[in-house]
Structure 1
Amino acid sequence: MEMLYQSLGNLAIQIAGATRVFHHYKLDFCCGGHRTLAEALHKKGLQAEPILAELKQLAEKGETEKDWTSASNQELIAHILERFHAKHRQQLPELIRLARRVEQVHGDSADCPQGLAEHLENMHLELENHMLKEEQILFPMLSNGFHPSGPINVMQEEHLDHGEALEQMLTLAHDLELPLGACNTWTALYLGLKELKEDLMDHIHLENNVLFVERQSGEGSCCGSCH
């Protein structure tokens, strides 16, 4: 039962595939990565046994994924820029377009995600501003061996805002439950929202629980004060 008392962030790092389990059960391992599995399950009212069984099966399989905890800051930042920053800049404009179309065509339906397009536009602006600050200020400092507590704390606070924006997105989209007979555009919208949610959570997890954690060795080690 030791897994129960480890943080979600640590489990996500240590067990290849654990994030898929957390996504499935809607457990917040990014902004809520400091919570233990036991605390997260209690908050959601979930039984521990099936989730523990899945995690233990993954741990026993010993699948290998990139161990970002041993990567340099430069390597990790390059991955974040390519895998997440570039992708979010492609995802959101298309999702906004799809949401506008669904609201225009299906506005009379009780299932229509009214207000979603506007919310996604706000998310796009906030996320773009956040990523630019990382790219122009924080990432260069981290790449050069500094660990600036002030900028890191600001980014972590903004991550909490992104998490709340995701929750609001899901509320507006009726938890991504498609109505019967939903058109292709509506289906594509909800599939894209699911991908955005999972990508953004993975993105925040990698920053909060790996990149922003002060490391003492390797090319990307810090020389500043711990936050």
Structure 2
Amino acid sequence: MNFVSIDFETANEKRHSPCAVGLVVANEHEIIDEYYSLINPITEFRSYNTYIHGITEDDVADAPTFAELWPTLNKYLMNNLVVAHNASFDMSVIRHTLDYFKLPYPSMDYLCTVKISQRIWPKLTNHKLNTLASHHGIIFEHHHALEDARVAAKVFMKAMEEYPSDSMDTFLEKCNLTKGKIYEHGYTAPKTKSASRNRKIYFK
């Protein structure tokens, strides 16, 4: 079951200001491929954002714009299952930036590792990426797009180890979750399904 993990960093509070992207292709057993690029957001940087991720306007001066990078990103994302930690943020970056550049949406399914982690490890104090990394003994550089994407991929792999399944649909059924979707002209968010009284709950 191959999937693609993605993470963006942004130059400011606007969702169409990505300044870095990290992508990790993996399956339930191993990481297969990785991709990282800085992005020239063609807009100003806020000091707070730079404080978080360390990327400055000088760093991205010669970097490709999102529109220039999109054909490469689209090859990773189109018709694939995509995961992200706090996926609502990363998916909104994709949608808002595509809207900004007047580019068509890809067709893809996506999942949020926050929601998955809340289902599988409900007793953690929180489900932030650094908390999950610490819980699983993963050392990483937080707020670096590729490192964050790699940790999200590893967390998803750990989740699939907890609930071994012969298909993604079976895994999601165990988690009582549904996939989100991005498609031309719109999107639907991943949802948490209420467990039936007669349905076994798979918390551990």
Do both share a fold (TM > 0.5)? no
Q: Which has the larger radius of gyration?
A: 1
**Bigger share in strand:** 2
TM-score normalised per structure 2: 0.29
TM-score between both structures, scaled by the size of structure 1: 0.27
- Structure possessing the higher relative contact order (Cα contacts under 8 Å, 6 or more residues apart): 1
